[in-house]
Amino acid sequence: MIATPYPDARLIIFTRAPQAGKCKTRLIPMLGEQGAANLQRELIQNCVATLCTQPLCPTELWCSPDTDQPLFQSLAQDYPLSLHTQQGADLGERMYHAMAGGDSACTIIVGTDCPEMSRDYVVQAIETFITGKDAVIGPAEDGGYVLLALRQVDASLFQDIEWGTQGVLAQTAQKMTAAGLAWQAIATLWDLDEGEDLRRYQALKSASAHTLK
């Protein structure tokens, strides 16, 4: 097993296979089914490369619909991560199932839709537990969250949440407070879901390419 700076933590990367017509559906009118799938593939590859080239802790890729997808198999060969299949009737059940399956000092879950996700951002979440917090949340500009880290996984945080709406962050925060958890929010980032997000991402890529020249 590869040595990591935070061996007692556990990082879960949650994602959906880049299958045409089944991912990034809100961007299909702009990109077409295959174009949206290609974008999903790019986001997954970028996220895994960012967080697993120099892994911070044991890392797991939780996949939908299964781990047999060629991209997932390829990533497991190229990076130090394990593959797992998501299980549950809705997003909350699937996230809870993934997070509740270990006994780490803290469990962190992120998606692959956040172009700004960085190694330092995850470090900030892990380091926050040293201050005595029970939970850390990384807000998203659209009212959801891009990261959730828990010392102990509480099922109530994943129940009766209006997933996919602007109320996810607020509802989760209310549940953390109701559960008596000492929690802290870190920097707000953005997810790539809508047309405006796509234009922002394309500008980010263009600026990065220009910088590298």
pLDDT for the residue numbered 102: 82
Architecture of the domain spanning 9-212 = Alpha-Beta Complex (3.90)
Q: What angle do CA 113, 117, 123 make, to 5 degrees?
A: 140
Q: What angle do CA 38, 141, 79 make, to 5 degrees?
A: 45
List of residues 6+ apart from 70 with CB closer than 8 A: none
Q: Give bridge partners of residue 64 from the DSSP assignment.
A: 16
* Of the candidates 204, 27, 181, the residue with the CA atom closest to the CA atom of residue 117: 204
pLDDT for the residue numbered 21: 97
Q: Is 68 helix (H, G, I), strand (E, B) or coil?
A: coil
> What is the number of alpha carbons within 13 Å of residue 192 lying toward its C-beta?
25
Helix axes 28-52, 119-128, angle to 10 degrees: 60
pLDDT for the residue numbered 67: 98
pLDDT for the residue numbered 41: 98
pLDDT for the residue numbered 4: 95
pLDDT digits (tens, 9 = 90+) for 154-193: 999 999 999 999 999 999 999 999 999 999 999 999 999 9
Backbone angles phi, psi at 177, to 5 degrees: -65, -45
What stretch of H or E contains 132?
A: none
CB 108, CB 55: distance < 8 Å: no
Domain boundaries, the chain: 9-212
Residues in the chain with pLDDT values less than 50: none
Q: Give bridge partners of residue 147 from the DSSP assignment.
A: 110, 138
